Amino acid sequence: MASYSRTKRIAEEIRKVISTMLISGIKDPRINSMVSVTDVEVTSDLSYAYVYVSILGGDEESTLQGLRSAVSYIRREVSKNVKLRHTPQIIFKVDDSIKNGMYMDDLIRKVNNGATASTIDEEEFDEE
């Protein structure tokens, strides 16, 4: 149980460092300001850190390439700020949960608007 708690704490620290870097530290023009770190998962042996990023606006593929090209710089900064014997390899993955949530919200609104319109039609029909 202690190792699980430790990996969660380390993942949170890595998330904080990378989030700060995305705001102010990375100068790659492919990485726009609409990139945010949604989650970090660290393997139990601390060899890999999967960093889930949400990319809103801009070209998703070029932003991901920019992040992957800056991974050695990001890992070096994580090493400076998070005191570990071995800094995990950082692997960026796209997190589509925000985009999927917006899509589902849009679908729910369309269904509700359709239900409202059909209810209104039925009420008008009953009045005649």
- Per DSSP, the residues of 33-69 read TTEEEEEEEE-TTSSEEEEEEEE-SS-HHHHHHHHHH
Residue 3: its pLDDT value, please? 54
pLDDT digits (tens, 9 = 90+) for 44-77: 888 999 999 988 777 888 888 888 998 999 999 9
More confident of the two residues 25 and 69: 69
Whether this model's pTM surpasses 0.75: no
Residue with tokens 């993942």: 11
Q: CA–CA separation, 116 vs 60, rounded Å?
A: 36
Residue with tokens 């949400």: 54
Q: Is the pLDDT of residue 125 over 50?
A: no
